């Protein structure tokens, strides 16, 4: 008898050990949250508890040198992940979009994918206790119909949902079709991250 594991879904995890960069990024995100009125308005109109530049600023690496420094580091991680995922690109992926997130206690982000991108990811700046992880969904889930649930001791590659536990300085990357969400935060402080797409 043989059982083979097919159709791997990869999650890339790495640390950027640069406390000064993380501190500068926190300052930048907090400044944007205080000054970006369009982003504040969009966040309020869409029930986002906190602030996101998702719909207001599309030039953050050009606008802020510390974010440009982060992008230089992310480029290498994305290149390595694409290689390890055996993506036949024929070209180097480029940053398509980048936005900052400052989530207040109780904030959540419902399940979604990132259409028109190849690799998506998040860099974590502040992750106070209780912030919650990144919840990743088995892409086969909508097709499982009458499949029974998995046992509590099922290995990670057999679960319907996997939770990645972020910490400051962590980079998580995944292919953009992978559905993911941020469960409600029970933290007492702000959860700050920078999300991005490469295409």
pLDDT at 145: 86
pLDDT tens profile 103-113:
999 999 999 99
Place of tokens 């501190």: 23
Burial class (CB in 10 A: 0-12, 13-18, 19+), 32: buried
pLDDT tens profile 98-149:
999 999 999 999 999 999 999 999 999 999 999 988 999 999 988 888 889 9
pLDDT value at 94 more than 90 = yes
Q: How many angstroms from the chain centroid is the CA of residue 30?
A: 19
């Amino acid at each position: 008898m043989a059982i083979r594991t097919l159709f791997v879904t990869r999650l890339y995890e790495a640390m950027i050990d640069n406390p000064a960069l993380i501190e500068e990024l926190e300052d930048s995100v907090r400044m944007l949250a205080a000054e970006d009125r369009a982003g504040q308005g969009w966040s309020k109109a869409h029930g986002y508890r906190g602030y996101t530049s998702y719909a207001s600023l599309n030039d953050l690496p050009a606008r802020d040198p510390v974010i440009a420094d982060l992008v230089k580091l992310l480029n290498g991680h994305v290149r390595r992940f694409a290689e390890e995922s055996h993506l036949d690109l024929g070209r180097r992926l480029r940053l398509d979009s980048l936005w900052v997130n400052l989530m207040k206690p109780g904030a959540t982000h419902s399940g979604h994918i990132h259409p028109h991108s190849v690799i998506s990811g998040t860099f974590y700046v502040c992750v106070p206790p209780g912030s919650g992880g990144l919840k990743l969904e088995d892409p086969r889930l909508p097709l499982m119909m009458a499949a029974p649930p998995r046992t509590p001791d099922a290995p990670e590659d057999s679960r319907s949902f996997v939770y990645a536990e972020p910490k400051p300085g962590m980079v998580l990357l995944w292919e953009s079709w992978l559905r993911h969400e941020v469960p409600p935060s029970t933290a007492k402080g702000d959860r700050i991250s920078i999300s991005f797409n490469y295409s």
